[in-house]
A and B are shown apart, each in its own frame.
Chain A
């Protein structure tokens, strides 16, 4: 397999397998709580169904509401170009692209929040307000992780930070890097609206965060938004996998296998967390994120000392 093709292959693989990750999480949760649960490819079936369903637009909505699926998909895919999904290099890299990664995800969030406020619904306003609150704190913590990775690898781009150098640094800075990886997992759950921050399966609008913002989306619009969320989860899962377990020095085929393994493993981990603890009270979520930030901050302090 040619070395240059692997980043593209890894991207295609991630885009294809993305709906599997929430499925794996849901199945793990079901098994651990003593149910059989839905098949792991449930989201593929849901998307297929939604793409053929009709759309209902709320009367008050304007352009932002219709832009939500477009920008969410485009921004999340564009951001995933910057991630070394194959464990070695990304499709596109430049110094400081980590900023582009976080801010492009923020662009998707900005449009999602505007779409929610566009409906004039107080439920969606509530969800939007919670989303921006937790996202601000998560971005802070996320940059503690990236700063630590940049300091330890002396790289400015994501593919440098999670690429070849990182594998060597694990030999010398394992404690700090473990803290950073643990912090990143905590943040991944918050960023992707999974338990214990948000419960994707809840049925009460008042308690939701991500789901309540897309209450009024339907048909293909909803399908694309769900797919984009799954891609975001998968990309972060792949990034976490490469930081916790750098595979840059393996053969290309093995690295692609490691990508699939990372997606499944993170899916299982998310499912285990969901099965073992309830959603936190909203007022406790900032403390949870602060916990993730503290782990990464300790990692960073160990590296800067």
Chain B
């Protein structure tokens, strides 16, 4: 545990360095070293915990209500801690290079907030009693707000920040209610003590489970609570989006898993609700992503999709637990944790690449880009790996966790009880995979392939090493997990088994880890097949004449870049299939086709509801005249009413 504290201290020190030196090259170098070293120490501790399956604890004496502050590191928090520190440190390094493109903003406050945010996130997963948990939770919420507001000069960022802060505090409110329910009979607010009274079915337990869905759901951003996510991710700098999407929303998942750990096997209704929400989020997240033209908003909707896939795993775990299949529950929870980890990796990778494109081409609009593969080959390679991973293609890491979810669902289909209906999740997951493939074919094709659609894309160059290196590191990890999954699947099952509060039964663990080796073998077979095919193709190609000419245009030789297929047209047939649910307005004319995405939850439900709340509030405004006279009248009137009440009650 000491190593972890030193690591977190190093993060705080990094922030202090930026604040003290007010930025500059020396501060940036020191900052990067401190952040990377701090993260390495924390990750080392977490890996130790995951490997041995132990739990580390610490207590800080406190005079505040709720008793001493308990902190700890168990396999569940260790898995999340690795994602937080790994993605956090690499994003911080990337952020140094990223912020140098913008000369109007002094980057040092943002860097300092970033390091503090990573420390706050680490504290959230280490907290084992209510006070430190809620404290770290609020630090995290405010840190995110400050980071979203980095480019506060843009109205877009201010609006996104406002939506975010409202949404996150709705969640916090639900968490207060949750902990108040848990702690109503005890003065000891450590998680261990809170768990005592709630392991049996009761009204309080039902309330806790429902409140967890709301409180942690806003943070996780599943449909329909996802509305704050796209504006925030689009308006924040890319390294912040990477952290938010890769890590911050996962804290919602962590919260749900922690609550399950607290209250024990959840009832079936909760499992089915989580499973249904997951399926719904996965399908609609990816569908709405397909409609986007802003590359960062598009990636944000993909986070909604992946949170959905994670929740399908979590729901499966909860259901298996409810119906009494502990081994399958460990697979479900383990798949959720593994996909959380994988999504943290490939999503931050994709945001790094999107950020590099944005900084170089100075636009996030897909329709203005094109042909960047030639101009930024390293970023293109990294993006292609990230895209293949998020679609779930072998041999990348996304495939491994999706395979585990599928496997769990198919296994659920063989049980004799109601649990077998969970097998219906497999076609849904397949649809999500197909839609994600369509979406990333669109992004990769329109941004990186073909020819440039505007002069902006022509000016793009390969970015500096500060932007490239973090992307290369993460891309390598994506490939490594995809090729050698047994190493991660084993520890993730340990985390999953920890949530279920059972040691994973050795028989089923051996079964899963054997098939993990088989997945690794298949990845190897695929790579060997590609190698052999490349060799054969080379032999065939060198024997014949090769020349270069124009693309076939049906005999038309004067093709221009504007004739290329656009992102709108590419996505149109799929969006048409889903009709009004696809969240897009299209304009078709004889010479134009244009589509405008909108958010069904924010623009169709929450914004109108907010507007009517405001309308009612405006009527009440007549009471607030700002004149002292009126307020005196109110005061006298209230006193009279209260005195009248006392008189009527007759001094009882």
Contacts and interface: CB of A to CB of B under 8 A. Distances in A.
Interface of A: 51-64, 69-71, 73-75, 77-78, 81-82, 92, 94-100, 102-104, 106-107, 109-110, 113-114, 116-126, 128-130, 132-133, 135-144, 146-147, 150-151, 154, 156, 205, 215-216, 219-221, 223-224, 282-283, 286, 293, 300, 304
Interface stretch (B14-22, B404-412, B607-615): B404-412
A220 B391 contact: no
A78 B540 contact: no
A141 B427 contact: yes
Given A94-B518, A99-B407, A114-B445, A151 B420 contact: yes
Interface in B495-547: 511, 515, 518-519, 521-522, 525-526, 529-530, 532-534, 536-537, 540-541, 543-547
B479 interface: no
A133 B573 contact: yes
A57 to B, nearest CB: 5
Interface string B423-465: 1101111110111011011101110011100000000000000
Given A51-B540, A99-B403, A122-B565, A136 B438 contact: yes
A59 B551 contact: yes
Given A117-B449, A120-B551, A304-B420, A78 B434 contact: no
B636 interface: no
Contacts of B437: 106, 109-110, 113, 132, 135-136
B511 to A, nearest CB: 8
Contact of B529 (A74, A156, A223): A74
A138 B565 CA distance: 23
Contacts of A121: 551-553, 559, 564
A52 B536 CA distance: 14
Among B407, B410, B435, B554, max chain A CB count under 10 A is at: B410
Interface stretch (B37-45, B126-134, B165-173, B392-400): B392-400
B413 A147 contact: yes
Interface of B: 370-371, 373-374, 384, 388, 391-394, 399, 402-404, 406-407, 410-411, 413-414, 420-421, 423-424, 426-431, 433-435, 437-438, 440-442, 444-446, 449-451, 511, 515, 518-519, 521-522, 525-526, 529-530, 532-534, 536-537, 540-541, 543-554, 559, 561, 563-565, 569-574, 576-577
A23 to B, nearest CB: 22
Given A74-B533, A110-B388, A128-B441, A103 B547 contact: no
B464 to A, nearest CB: 23
14 contacts: A55-B541, A58-B552, A71-B533, A73-B537, A75-B529, A103-B399, A117-B446, A126-B565, A135-B434, A136-B434, A138-B434, A140-B430, A224-B533, A304-B413
A220 B543 CA distance: 10
List 3 A-B pairs, minimum CB-CB distance, nearest first: A125-B565, A136-B434, A117-B445
Given A107-B388, A117-B450, A117-B565, A74 B532 contact: yes
A56 B404 CA distance: 43
Contacts of B540: 51, 220, 223-224
Nearest to B545: A54
Given A56-B547, A71-B533, 20 more contacts: A54-B544, A55-B544, A58-B549, A69-B533, A71-B530, A94-B519, A95-B518, A96-B515, A103-B392, A109-B437, A117-B565, A120-B371, A121-B553, A128-B570, A132-B437, A133-B438, A139-B433, A151-B413, A151-B414, A220-B543
